[in-house]
Structure 1
């Protein structure tokens, strides 16, 4: 038996915040097309590898109101599988939840779509082995009940039993409890041969045997989804299953670290571009420049970063050199230094003010302002990685303002 486990395609992702007047149109087309290209590569591999079936574990689309283009693209890829006798098992997640009759989607006969209640579908492979696949599709954005309780224990009259579940490994008291929460022991108690999980975009195995897996998303969409993205190829060896990660994403997100202790402010732009050129990217990269420093940072540089002037300068040059460098600089992260020298404010006082201003309670209150926005926007802003990034950027702005105010006071003396 050989199959592909993939999830979180997020076809037609809007890549919020990337489009600006400097970004070359050709590069924007590559960004917009990247989720489609990655999935097409997965289907190419499924055909080349002659897999028995493909598991699509939720969030095939980025939002419930899927575009006509994304819908047509998915159907075209499913038809390619159908032409080669490859079955596809589909469950919808919290981004593309649906209550529609699967027969209305226009999918080919090889595509088995799970309904809103847990059900088990059986499939006979060409060699006569019988596979049972259990799963369900979200009928709304948030499902707080542990749907794992509705999954049957492994059936006896099949050769393999696989579970598909779009949800979160978490306690019921965490924010992730909105997404069909489960525990590792609950998965193991079902006695399945493999669990194909979706929803968490970081690829990871939850057990030593690597048979309970998040495949991660197929194309990173921002800096907190860095590194190679793709799918898991799963093959049987006697009665054991072995997994192999296969990268397919055309764009990789990453960080490039630059120490301000080793370069002057006047030479910073040149140093950044030289560092990128020395990396010799073989695949298109979207990068964040992460500045570090062991000492207090020049106030003018902090102002230049918080105003966006430094990024603008870099992107103006990058627009002409992105093909040569095979990268695009998306953002700059200011250094988080351990101690700063102020002329008018005590470090302890600043740290106390920062702690009172940037905390979970304040963030949760601000997050309520996004209730009127599309659900996928609130999901992205409320993510753990996004919250930390917002805290870091806000802290930098506070830091810059304190240093600037202190400098002005010194000049007035």
Structure 2
């Protein structure tokens, strides 16, 4: 038996925040097309590998109101599988939830769509082995109840028992844990041969055997989804299953640390791009430049980072050289140094004030401000990595604006 496990395609993702008047049109088209291109490569691989079936575990679309183009594209790719005798199992997640009848989507005959209640679908392979696949589709954005309790135990009249579940570990201390939560013990107790998980965009195995996996999303959409993205190929070896990650994403998001000490201060933007050119990217990269420093930073440099002028300069040059560099710089991160507060200000008290100001309660208030925004925006802002990035930036701005008493004029004189 051989199959592909993939999830979180987010077809037609809007890639919020990337489009601006500097980003070249050709590059933007490649960005917008990237979720489609990655999935098409997955279907190419399914056909080339002659897999028995493909599991699509939720969030195939970026939002409930899927575009006509995205819907047609998915149907075309499922048809390609059907033309090659490959079955497809589909469930919808919190982004593309649906209450429609599985028969109403107009997918080809090879496609089995799970309804809103947990159900088991059986499929007989060409060698006579029987596969029992259990799963469900979200009927609303938020499903906080543990749907894992509705999954049946592994059945003895199937050669292979597989679970598809779009959700998250209940032990996560994050908003992601509000989606069909489960525990690792609950998954293992079902006795399934493989769990195909979706929702968490970071690829990871939850057990040592590599049979309980998040495949991650198929195309990173921002810096917090960095690294290679793709699918998991699963193959049987006797009655054991072995899983292997296969990359398909046309764009890689990454962080690039660069020391300020290695740059020409009078030509900062040009020096940064020269450093990046030495990386010789073979695949298109979208990067965040992480500037580092072992000493205090020139106030003009810090201001240029925080007010966006350095990024503007970089992107103006990058717009003409992105094909040559095979990369686009999306953001700059200021150095994290501990000695940026003026010497007349006690560093201890500055750190204490920062800790008392930038709290989890403050972050919760920030997140609440996104309640009226689409769910996928709030999801991304709510992550721990986003919180750290926001607090780091706030700390840098606080340092920049600390007033040195020696520089303040005394009006009483």
Using structure 2 for the length normalisation, give the TM-score. 0.96
Q: Which residue of 2 aligns with 1:114?
A: 114
Q: Which residue of 1 aligns with 2:401?
A: 401
Q: Which residue of 2 aligns with 1:42?
A: 42
CA distance in 1, matches of 2:314, 2:175: 37
Asked if 1:65 is matched to 2:65, the reply is yes
CA distance in 1, matches of 2:375, 2:276: 36
CA distance in 1, matches of 2:292, 2:172: 38
Q: Which residue of 2 aligns with 1:247?
A: 247
Shift of residue 272, structure 1, vs aligned partner: 1.1
Counterpart contact for 1:343–1:410, Cα < 8 Å: no
CA distance in 1, matches of 2:147, 2:128: 31
SS, match of residue 127 in structure 1: coil
CA distance in 2, matches of 1:14, 1:278: 31
Of residues 247-256 and 268-277 in structure 1, the stretch that sits farther from structure 2 once superposed is 268-277
Shift of residue 346, structure 1, vs aligned partner: 2.3
CA distance in 1, matches of 2:163, 2:236: 16
Counterpart contact for 2:175–2:382, Cα < 8 Å: no
Shift of residue 174, structure 1, vs aligned partner: 4.7
Asked if 1:317 is matched to 2:314, the reply is no
CA distance in 2, matches of 1:399, 1:265: 21
Shift of residue 410, structure 1, vs aligned partner: 2.4
Asked if 1:266 is matched to 2:266, the reply is yes
Asked if 1:86 is matched to 2:86, the reply is yes
Shift of residue 246, structure 1, vs aligned partner: 0.7
Map Cα deviations across residues 50-77 of structure 1 (whole Å, 9 max, x no partner): 1100000111011111111111111110
Shift of residue 173, structure 1, vs aligned partner: 6.5
Shift of residue 49, structure 1, vs aligned partner: 0.8
Q: Which residue of 2 aligns with 1:278?
A: 278
Counterpart contact for 1:13–1:32, Cα < 8 Å: yes
SS, match of residue 371 in structure 1: coil
Counterpart contact for 1:78–1:88, Cα < 8 Å: yes
SS, match of residue 261 in structure 2: coil
Shift of residue 128, structure 1, vs aligned partner: 0.9
CA distance in 1, matches of 2:282, 2:206: 31
Q: Which residue of 2 aligns with 1:17?
A: 17
After TM superposition, where is structure 1 displaced by more than 6 Å over at least 4 residues in a row? none
SS, match of residue 291 in structure 1: strand
CA distance in 2, matches of 1:167, 1:91: 12
Counterpart contact for 1:294–1:338, Cα < 8 Å: no
Counterpart contact for 2:204–2:215, Cα < 8 Å: yes
Shift of residue 124, structure 1, vs aligned partner: 0.4
SS, match of residue 156 in structure 1: coil
Where structure 2 has 5 or more consecutive residues not aligned to the other structure, the ranges are none
Distance of aligned partners of 1:301 and 1:71 in 2 relative to their CA distance in 1, 3 Å threshold: same
Shift of residue 370, structure 1, vs aligned partner: 1.1
Distance of aligned partners of 1:371 and 1:140 in 2 relative to their CA distance in 1, 3 Å threshold: same
Superposition map of 1:305-344 within 5 A: 305-344=305-344
Q: Which residue of 2 aligns with 1:290?
A: 290
Using structure 1 for the length normalisation, give the TM-score. 0.96
Q: Which residue of 2 aligns with 1:77?
A: 77
CA distance in 2, matches of 1:126, 1:341: 70
Q: Which residue of 2 aligns with 1:391?
A: 391
Q: Which residue of 1 aligns with 2:179?
A: 179
Q: Which residue of 2 aligns with 1:32?
A: 32
Q: What is the RMSD computed on CA atoms of the aligned residues?
A: 1.4
Shift of residue 264, structure 1, vs aligned partner: 4.2
CA distance in 1, matches of 2:174, 2:375: 18
Shift of residue 412, structure 1, vs aligned partner: 4.7
Q: Which residue of 2 aligns with 1:410?
A: 407
Counterpart contact for 2:264–2:271, Cα < 8 Å: no
